[in-house]
Chains A and B, each alone.
Chain A
């Protein structure tokens, strides 16, 4: 007779519109750890799930973009606080997904939280760095402001299951965009755990949507979707890049290609990932009596 307690295993569902639905396809797939041992059954998202996620993201976008930058920063800071308070849970998830030691995993989680904090602080500053007052040669007050591009489709990094994810997601959010994220295919657990944190945070439903499943099946749907404004291909496999970039052309999406410098995500980021999803709007206003 065994003394070991039977685990109550977690069901890993999708995160869409602030809720945790199963895939409408009813499918799931097995997630294993670095040794090949069973970790979980994750929902295997379908094209319809992606569609629903985009709808949710679009619906949430005006309100999220319309919140003050200060407000967005506050929401994101609080998410960082929640992440920090669950460091051990995340370290566990990262270690088992990536096969790292506990120390390495803990360091990775610390870096992820710090990165989230770094990005949170940008929300009420990026306009001052990306915007400008332009000295035009005429009686006009002319200013440029950055605005979020809208709904961003994100293919999260395959290997770096938390730090990489956070590094691609945070800049999308602080700038007022909403996201449809395709999690790492083989290492989705930290992402789903993050979704649980987001669901209990002040982040409105629909601002982040997370789909687990086969990247090769899901990414093209996102890339071809005409109501997605931009695409982050950080985690897209090289074999898919051409197909995805071509699909993105349908509505002239802004496409952020994978960067060479981002292979392990430890390097300090630049404003690049924020600027990639910002539009510059320039306004001319006459100055007169």
Chain B
């Protein structure tokens, strides 16, 4: 299995002015690298930057507060304007299937049982029992103690097991406890870990602490991918979202994620826009390609496609794949299937046409 191979960024702003990123490898256990990549080069740049900032809390603060601010009204307007894009029918089918392939099918309830998780995994492998051409989802997302169940249920499939950890959703526990949580998940076989940042630390300005925790968790992840949940609903301002996104990326995140889904508002189009802009800028700065996961409150295929449009117009086509963009959702899947069915058959599906789980 490869270590984190990063790609260099070829930003083409010359003749066409268009930003292009060379597609490269995203360390996925069973995919191969596509295109050229220079192993480690981007990582070195990120590492250097990190080293500079790591010297002091005040340097880190200066850096974060020196990032351009985000005007909320402007960001909301841009997101709303992108939401009016309408895509062609043939592209729509592709987009719906891609969205399915990007879903992290989620159950994160106190009442989760092995039975519930097994059911979820079956759905994840074969979203539409009546149509094998529907791709499986990207991953299931569950609590750490149910990882073994999911691993068994998903054996032999391409669907990953993502586990939340670090005292999800609040993150209010000691670092030792949070790391133990991560190790348990990884030991049980989780392919991906979805951690939460310490919002209390962030909002009281202890950026260094937030950064260190991300780094510690990344380390504890071993080979597993790290998604860092910012919990944008608690951060409130877009400026905070941008800064927290940078902290996560500097700390080694493979993905930055909007929300736990337990706090409202969760994912919104403008928040996704701001996070994608941060990811784009970070890639320019360091060469590292970080993914974005939007989670919480995304129920309709229409919404999902709007997110994909924003991805396309902010960071470009390179991010339109499960290794760089995910939807954390549960009911979204069936709406994607409904819309896909309509595209293929030309008529609307019934309410019981798809399995509830």
Contact = CB atoms under 8 A, between A and B. Distances in A.
Interface string A135-152: 000111000000000000
Contacts of B237: 289
Contacts of A139: 73, 76
B74 A286 contact: yes
Contacts, number: 17
A289 B74 contact: no
A289 B242 CA distance: 13
A288 interface: yes
Interface residues of B, number: 8
User: What is the size category of the interface that chain A forms with chain B?
Assistant: under 10
Contacts of B76: 139, 288
A286 B238 CA distance: 15
Nearest to A288: B72
Interface string B66-88: 00000111101000000000000
B271 to A, nearest CB: 12
Interface string A179-191: 0000000000000
Interface in B192-243: 236-238
Contacts of A138: 73
A140 B74 CA distance: 11
Centre residue among B73, B74, B236, B237 by max chain A CB count within 10 A? B73
Majority-rule SS of A interface residues? loop
Nearest to A140: B73
A209 B74 CA distance: 48
Interface in A270-289: 286-289
A104 B44 CA distance: 94
B130 to A, nearest CB: 46
Interface in A105-155: 138-140
Nearest to A284: B73
Contacts of B236: 289
A140 B72 CA distance: 11
Nearest to B74: A286
A286 B76 CA distance: 11
A138 B237 CA distance: 19
Contacts of B74: 286
A287 B76 CA distance: 12
A137 to B, nearest CB: 13
A192 to B, nearest CB: 56
Contacts of B71: 286, 288
A266 B53 CA distance: 76
Nearest to A139: B73
A289 B236 CA distance: 8
A139 B74 CA distance: 10
B202 to A, nearest CB: 16
Nearest to A289: B237
Contacts of A288: 71-73, 76
B127 to A, nearest CB: 38
14 contacts: A138-B73, A139-B73, A139-B76, A140-B73, A286-B71, A286-B72, A286-B73, A286-B74, A287-B73, A288-B71, A288-B72, A288-B73, A289-B72, A289-B237
Interface of B: 71-74, 76, 236-238
Given A288-B72, A288-B73, A289-B72, 4 more contacts: A138-B73, A286-B73, A287-B73, A289-B238
Closest 3 CB pairs of A and B: A288-B72, A286-B73, A289-B237
